[in-house]
Amino acid sequence: MTVQTDVQTFPLYINGQWQPASNNETFDVINPATGQLVAKVAKGTAEDVNKAVHAAREAFDNSDWRNMSPKERANILYQISYAISEHADELAYLEAISSGGTVRRIGGNDILQMVDLFQTLAKFVLEYEFSETLPSPPFPGPAHNFIWREPIGVCAAITPWNLPMVIATWKIAPALAMGNTIVVKPASYTPLSTLKLAEIISEVVPPGVINVVTGSGAEAGEALIKHPNVDKVAFTGSTEVGRRVMELSAGTIKNTTLELGGKSPNIILEDADLSIALPGSLFGVFLHSGQLCESGTRLFVPDQLHDVIVEQLVHLASKIKPGNPLDPNTDVGPVISKKQKETILSYIEAGKQEGATLVCGGKEIKVPGCEDGHFIEPTIFTNVTNDMKIAREEIFGPVLSVIRYSEVDEAIKMANDSIYGLAAGVWTKDVNNAYDIARKLQAGVVWINDWHMLRNDAPFGGYKQSGIGREMGKHSLDAYTQVKHVHTSMVPELHRRNWYGLLFSEK
């Protein structure tokens, strides 16, 4: 890496080496809390994507990487986890200055989650059934049959700006665990921590196993998906771009997994313990200024508790302190950009226009010391109906829609009335009732009396237009393998092969 005045320049990371973009162009990375330029980053082209895919292809086809034993591979995953811990402060810093996430959250959760994911998958790799032997079948004839699970090949990971490192890890860790190689294209707002992560990982894997091409979605992202030597695409981002990814993948029939947007419903039942349900529901929606795909943005409350719930929510929301993400006392940082801030403010305006009642926040805030940052007050609307724009579209900002219900079945029906199905939640003291409701909710994860709690050994992903496939857990290892059936005949005599009679009528 080279240093220009105070601003670092980050090249592309290809084949274990830093290299500039083929046309030497760069783009700016801006701190969303201060508006300051924090880095210049190589703007990768289709030619650079081609180089990275070539390196990944070579490492897959012509090195020992894919043939390592599970023990060797688990050992590498453990080494990566220790290296991430050693670089925790630097990674958290790079992520905070570009994503606006607080160091408190990144250091106190994200890094630990990444370390734990590599270690969890290391354990899974040791137990993984790479080869399964089938019993000798009566039909069509005696044989020895295996099912082998093999790596897919060169994987492309395209990631969003909200949790850049964690989401890159959800793809990198299982890809490497199963012997694949990977090219990562991070979001243009937040490439820094992913580049650093690749450098750390490269210390323990052969060159070309992990590569990062920074650049725009339209050029670098599309070139990667269309590339004929890429075997799998793992995308996390908006549902709108996810549709485009699917279209492009279709050109070469790529194995594609999609983790997309959400509009997650959160149902408070009459018997809920409000002392937990209310801070829990705000935790569910305002963490990272509402920029989490699983945020519980639609809150369904029973008629008879509506007023008391709203009053307490407003009181609790007023305690959330916005500030510089690098300050450990900051509760929430900025939203990612001026453009995103304007989008969120336009949704707030739409809520007012459609007749919802703004009871908390709703405005941009100027944070002392961060006057050029993009901060928005935690915002709560009541009198929202499930057909309003603010209840249907993903806002990806700190906006909560409170929707009343009189019967629980009505709340479940409204909860499911969405194109999305990423997460859902229910708050009640009656756990059996919660399980009944969880069965009816159309979502990839259901939290009972909690939110945002993801385990590395449990799958995560969406129903409906929130995505295809699952990340984390054993499911994620399956997603980075392909299945081969190997048949060995146990019938050496021609006359016993009566199935040949399907073609030859004469004996």
By annotation, the residues acting in catalysis are 259, 293
Structure tokens, 48? 């650079």
Q: In whole angstroms, how close is the CB of 291 to ligand NAD at the nearest point?
A: 7
3-state secondary structure of 385: coil
Q: Is 161 an interacting residue with respect to ligand NAD (CB under 6 A)?
A: yes
**Neighbouring-strand partners of residue 155:** 182, 232
Looking at the Cβ atoms of 66 and 171, the one nearer to ligand NAD is 171
Q: Which helix (H) or strand (E) holds 425?
A: strand 423-427
> Angle 458-459-462 (CA atoms, 0-180°, nearest 5)?
145
Where do we find the tokens 């990198």? Answer: 172
3-state secondary structure of 195: helix
- Residue choice 43, 51, 185, 374 for contact with ligand NAD (CB under 6 A): 185
Q: Cis (ω within 30 of 0) for the bond into 140?
A: yes
Where do we find the tokens 């009396």? Answer: 449
Q: Is 244 an interacting residue with respect to ligand NAD (CB under 6 A)?
A: yes
How far is Cα 237 from Cα 223, in angstroms, rounded to an integer?
Answer: 17
Q: Is 262 an interacting residue with respect to ligand NAD (CB under 6 A)?
A: yes
Looking at the Cβ atoms of 34 and 194, the one nearer to ligand NAD is 194
Q: Is 261 an interacting residue with respect to ligand NAD (CB under 6 A)?
A: yes
> Could you write out the DSSP letters of every residue in 252-273?
TT-EEEEE-----EEEE-TTS-
Q: In whole angstroms, how close is the CB of 296 to ligand NAD at the nearest point?
A: 13
- Residue choice 32, 44, 101, 237 for contact with ligand NAD (CB under 6 A): 237
Residue 409's alpha-carbon distances to 293, 405, 416, 437, 485, in angstroms, are 25, 9, 11, 9, 46
- Residue choice 151, 221, 325, 397 for contact with ligand NAD (CB under 6 A): 221
How far is Cα 346 from Cα 333, in angstroms, rounded to an integer?
Answer: 20
Structure tokens, 495? 């006359």
**Neighbouring-strand partners of residue 147:** 132, 485
Q: In whole angstroms, how close is the CB of 171 to ligand NAD at the nearest point?
A: 11
- Residue choice 160, 179, 280, 351 for contact with ligand NAD (CB under 6 A): 160
How far is Cα 222 from Cα 230, in angstroms, rounded to an integer?
Answer: 12
3-state secondary structure of 378: coil
Q: Is 48 an interacting residue with respect to ligand NAD (CB under 6 A)?
A: no
- Residue choice 122, 259, 434, 452 for contact with ligand NAD (CB under 6 A): 259
Question: What is the distance, to the nearest Å, from the Cα of residue 453 to the centroid of all Cα atoms in its chain?
Answer: 14
- Residue choice 114, 182, 241, 426 for contact with ligand NAD (CB under 6 A): 241
Q: Is 423 an interacting residue with respect to ligand NAD (CB under 6 A)?
A: no
The window from 148-156, 181-189, 341-349, 493-501 that contacts ligand NAD (CB under 6 A) reads 181-189
Phi, psi at 231, each rounded to 5°: -100, -25
Looking at the Cβ atoms of 238 and 449, the one nearer to ligand NAD is 238
Query: What residue type is 130 in one-letter code?
Result: F
Q: In whole angstroms, how close is the CB of 429 to ligand NAD at the nearest point?
A: 30
Structure tokens, 441? 């909710």
Long-range contacts of 301-304 (CB under 8 A, 24+ apart): 301/268, 301/402, 301/403, 301/404, 301/405, 302/268, 302/269, 302/270, 302/404, 302/405, 302/406, 303/404, 303/405, 303/406, 304/270
The window from 129-137, 219-227, 351-359, 489-497 that contacts ligand NAD (CB under 6 A) reads 219-227
- Residues binding ligand NAD: number (CB under 6 A): 32
Looking at the Cβ atoms of 221 and 325, the one nearer to ligand NAD is 221
- Residue choice 41, 91, 158, 172 for contact with ligand NAD (CB under 6 A): 158
Task: Specify the pairing of strand 12-14 against strand 17-19.
Answer: antiparallel
Looking at the Cβ atoms of 259 and 377, the one nearer to ligand NAD is 259
- Residue choice 95, 199, 377, 394 for contact with ligand NAD (CB under 6 A): 394
- Residue choice 260, 380, 403, 411 for contact with ligand NAD (CB under 6 A): 260
Query: What residue type is 385 in one-letter code?
Result: T
Q: In whole angstroms, how close is the CB of 244 to ligand NAD at the nearest point?
A: 5
The window from 125-133, 257-265, 318-326, 356-364 that contacts ligand NAD (CB under 6 A) reads 257-265
The window from 35-43, 127-135, 140-148, 158-166 that contacts ligand NAD (CB under 6 A) reads 158-166
Q: Is 183 an interacting residue with respect to ligand NAD (CB under 6 A)?
A: no
- Residue choice 48, 95, 199, 222 for contact with ligand NAD (CB under 6 A): 222
Q: Is 159 an interacting residue with respect to ligand NAD (CB under 6 A)?
A: yes
Q: In whole angstroms, how close is the CB of 236 to ligand NAD at the nearest point?
A: 5
> What contacts 500, CB < 8 A, 6 or more positions away?
494
Rule CB under 6 A: which residues touch ligand NAD?
158-163, 167, 185-188, 217-218, 221-222, 225, 236-238, 241, 244-245, 259-262, 293, 394, 396, 422, 462, 467
